Each structure stands twice: as C-alpha cells, then as structure tokens.
C-alpha cells in the first residue's frame, strides 16, 4: 500500500475544514482534504444553507398571504405550499454550493480525497472509501461495500469532522416517523400534525418553517423557556410572538413514551404541572443537540485528548495535546456554529504556517468567545452577541441598558416588520458594550454593526457618534444606544 505525503491534511470539508485547507494553500503549504460524504459538510449540504432556503420559501409564502397589507390584490384562498418543490429548491441550493467548494479546492490546488479517515499514528492516517458515501450523519458501520484503502502521511493534521444529531435512548430517530434535521428538511409531503422536541436554534427553525407552510406544530421544551441560551427578555418575547403565529409551545415539559403506528406516532409527554398527556402526531423532529464526530477516527492512536463527552480538547490556537494535530469546529468546545468553525480554521492554518516558519505568530489572534454571534433564522429572526443581562449582573457589572421597538423605525413600518426588540447592554462605569440582543425582521444582517463595535472594544460614545443611513433597519441600533443614555428620539 503506497503512502501519499503532504505537509498538511484536513479531515472534514465543512465550513471549518474547507476554509482551513484554503488558508493553508494560500500560505504555500502542500495540503489535502479528506471528506467521507459531500464537500461542504453538514452546513452546506444539510444544515445552515439549505435550511435557510426552506425558511426563505416559508417567509415568501407568508408574505404572499399578507399581500393585501402591501396593496396587492391576490386570492390567498388558492395559495398552497408545494413542499416537494420547496425541498427541491433547497437541495438545488445545497448542490450548487457544494459544487462551488469543489471549484475552490481545484483553484487552490488542494487534493480532495474521498473516504473516511482513521489515525494510524500522529503523522499518518488510513483512508477507507465507500460505495455509498452520501448518507448524512451516519457512522462508518452504516456503509457497505468498501472499495479502497490508502494511507496519507502529513506533518500536521486538522480534525474538522463536525457533529451529528444527539440521540436519546428510547427515542432514536428512524428516518420515517422520528426525524433528525436531515430527514426533516427533505419531506415530500406536509405533516399535518408535527411535534418538535427541543427549542434551540435547530428545533425552533424547523417549527417556524413547518408552522408557516401549514402544519399544526407543537414544540416540547424541557427547560422553562424556549431558545434558552438567549437573553431572558428576548426569549420571552420570542415565545409570545411565535405563539401568536399559531405555534403550540410547551415549556418545562418532557417525553414519557413513543408508540409508533404505520404512519403516525402516539407521544406521551409530561407538562410542567405534572399532568401527563397523550397525543398523536404525523411526525416528530428530535432537535436535542449534537454530539461530536470524534469516536471513529482512532484519535487514541495519537496524543490528542477528548473529554467525557468526546469533545476534543485544544488550546487557544486549536492545537491538541499532540503537537502535530489541531481540531476545529463542532468536534471541539462550543458554541457549535459554522462561523466559529471557519474562524478557527484560519487560526489553525496560520498557526501551522507559523510552526513551519511561513507566517508570523504575532499576527495570530485567538478567538474571544464573547464576540461570537448567535443567529436564529425564524420569523422574526433572533441575533445576539456578548453577555445577557442576567450574566452581566452575575459578573458584577453595573449596567446601562437601552431598548428600542421596531414600531418606531420608518423602514420597519414600510417593510411590515414591526415586531421585535433591539436591546443593548453597556458597562455603566466604562461605557463598554457588553452585549446586544435582537429579535425582529432581518436582525441577523445588521447585528454585524454590534460585532465590529464589540471587536474594536467600542463604547456607547462610538455608537452615539456614528451616523446611520436613513431609512434603514440599522438605525434601530443607534436608537437603542440613545435609549441607554435617556436620549432616544423615535420612541
């Protein structure tokens, strides 16, 4: 068996892996990338991008239903969501982007090797390619018909194998009645009654999508509030707005049992007050988090370490306990976000280049996790960065808080996007921006202004002195900061 030699090898081609490979190539490092399924990983093929295509279809559907609000005559009674075509569009978007990654690999002279990698040592991996490398979210044991085994040696490796849907014993997905995110975004017909278990970003996005196109959706959340990582004020407002759209949201509730029928499932669940209810649904989406894909890569053959949850441990430069091996993205400590993985990919690539004397180590800046944004693409959208109000108080800060309602913004009124809240949190002593928490139309787009300000360690004076263009939704950033000073204009 021949062994190919590279300076660097990236395992996994998601938004962390392919970005790392491109940056390595830019720095003049001979690089290959190993992918067992599709280039682009979960994000481009079954996650971030295709789900946003689904949600855009749902948003468009709702906008058409409300055409009278825009002065357009339309018989909404004949309006129907074509689930098959919505899914086909989403899959087309994913295919186009995956093809784009292939082009980028070719442009940057990065060799793409298809197959599943396992470490033989700190400097060598064995790659087994399969006849069926296109099933998302499964382990190697799920594939049949191995074709070829080859070996790769490299001076450095970057593990970017991502994560898959977490499973709860007794409630495992079967792909038909009990779904993961993969099956949830590829349904050919609309489930009339749908249960979504979990109200994090994945769960609430699917709940929002199916509710918008006509399903009767119930969300089951074991914690006391939905989107529990968000600021409490945003979380409570989100629940109010989603309920007004028709979502049935049950917090403090948990599963008791599943009973499967031929084409439906009877779910027994316990409510917050202890009452146990039994209800029949067409489908159930399990959205209870993710687990890292770290157990099948034979990391024990190296000096790299994992914790009890199989999360690979790294330093601030993403280097593991094995000096030759780096790890990035969802296989490492959270938050598990595509944009974090991409940024980590660049840091890891530049650190490797520095070790090879091809880049200045002084130019490498580790991630400040307080500056990582979180975005949820429901209608309305949710976006946040930094400390919540509760966390800031817990840390002992004396706060100045500004709030602004989109009802006071001209562009929001003209766009019929008047629901929500823009909330900014400052340190009263220093004026430092501690956090920003937004819910409303298109907030995932203009939260970037807060991100730049926070990264540059800006204060409320920087925001107050900035002239925001009119009319834009971003003016609400200015108004919320003005409110923290008692100077708000349009509210």
Query: Which active-site residues does the annotation give?
Result: 470
Quote the CA–CA distance of 278 and 271 in Å, as a whole number.
11
Interatomic CA distance for residues 423 and 235, integer angstroms: 12
Residues 6 or more apart in contact with residue 262 via CB below 8 angstroms: none
d(CA 475, CA 469): 7
The alpha helices in 66-151, defined as continuous H runs, are: 83-107
The full DSSP string for 455-478 is HTT-BHHHHHH----SS-TTHHHH
Consecutive H or E run containing 178: strand 178-179
Indicate the helix (H) or strand (E) that contains 12: none
Cα dist from 91 to 142, 198, 211, 405, whole Å:
23, 24, 20, 36
Closest CA to 460 of 437, 438, 439, 478: 478
Nearby residues of 222 by Cβ (< 8 Å), 6 or more positions away:
252, 253, 254
> Nearest Cα to 378, choosing from 257, 201, 218?
201
Query: CA-CA distance, 285 to 279, in Å (whole number)?
Result: 15
Cα separation, 268 vs 258, whole angstroms? 6
Cα–Cα dist 280/263, whole Å: 11
Tell me, what DSSP letter sits at residue 70? Answer: G
Pairing mode of beta strands 193-197, 254-260 = unpaired
255 membership: H or E segment, kind and range: strand 254-260
DSSP reduced 3-state for 128: strand
Pairing of strands 193-197, 216-221: parallel
Structural contact between residues 377 and 209, judged by C-beta atoms closer than 8 angstroms: no
User: How many Cα atoms sit within 13 Å of 319 on the Cβ side?
Assistant: 14
Largest CA distance in the chain: 73
């Amino acid at each position: 068996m021949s062994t190919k030699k590279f300076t660097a090898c990236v395992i996994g081609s998601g938004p962390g892996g392919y970005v790392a490979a491109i940056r390595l190539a830019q720095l003049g490092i001979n690089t290959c990338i190993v992918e067992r399924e599709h280039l682009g990983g979960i994000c481009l093929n079954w996650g971030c991008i295709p789900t946003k295509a689904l949600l855009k279809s749902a948003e468009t559907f709702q906008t058409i239903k409300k055409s009278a609000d825009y002065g357009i005559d339309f018989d909404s009674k004949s309006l129907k969501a074509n689930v098959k075509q919505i899914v086909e569009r989403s899959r087309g978007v994913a295919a186009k982007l995956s093809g784009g990654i292939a082009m980028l690999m070719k442009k940057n002279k990065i060799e793409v090797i298809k197959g599943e990698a396992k470490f033989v040592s700190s400097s060598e991996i064995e790659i087994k390619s399969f006849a069926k490398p296109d099933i998302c979210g499964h382990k190697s044991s799920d594939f049949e018909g191995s074709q070829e085994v080859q070996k790769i040696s490299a001076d450095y490796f970057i593990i970017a194998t991502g994560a898959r849907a977490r499973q709860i014993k007794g409630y495992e997905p079967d792909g038909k009645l009990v779904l993961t995110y993969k099956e949830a975004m590829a349904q050919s017909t609309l489930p009339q009654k749908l249960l979504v278990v979990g109200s994090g970003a994945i769960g609430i996005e699917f709940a929002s999508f199916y509710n918008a196109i006509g399903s009767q959706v119930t969300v089951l959340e074991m914690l006391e509030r939905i989107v529990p990582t968000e600021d409490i004020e945003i979380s409570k407002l989100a629940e109010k707005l989603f309920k007004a759209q028709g979502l049935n949201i049950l917090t403090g509730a948990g599963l008791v049992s599943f009973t499967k029928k031929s084409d439906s499932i009877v779910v027994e669940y316990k409510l917050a007050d202890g009452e146990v209810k039994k209800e029949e649904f067409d489908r159930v989406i399990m959205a209870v988090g993710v687990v890292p894909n770290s157990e099948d890569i034979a990391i024990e053959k190296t000096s790299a370490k994992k914790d009890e949850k199989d999360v690979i441990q790294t330093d601030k430069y993403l280097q593991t306990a094995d000096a030759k091996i780096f790890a990035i993205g969802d296989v490492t400590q959270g938050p598990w976000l595509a944009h974090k993985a991409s940024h980590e990919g660049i840091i890891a690539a530049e650190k490797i280049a520095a070790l090879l004397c091809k880049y200045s180590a002084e130019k490498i800046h580790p991630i400040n996790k307080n500056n990582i944004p979180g975005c949820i693409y429901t209608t309305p959208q949710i976006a946040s960065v930094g400390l919540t109000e509760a966390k800031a108080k817990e840390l002992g800060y004396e706060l100045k808080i500004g709030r602004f309602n989109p009802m006071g913004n001209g562009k929001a009124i003209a766009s019929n996007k008047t629901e929500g809240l823009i909330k900014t949190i400052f340190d009263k002593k220093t004026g430092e921006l501690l956090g920003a928490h937004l819910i409303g139309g298109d907030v995932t787009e203009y939260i970037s202004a807060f991100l730049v300000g926070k990264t540059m360690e800006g204060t409320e004076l920087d925001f107050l002195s900035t002239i925001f263009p009119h009319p834009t939704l971003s003016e609400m950033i200015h108004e919320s900061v003005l409110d923290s000073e008692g100077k708000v204009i349009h509210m």
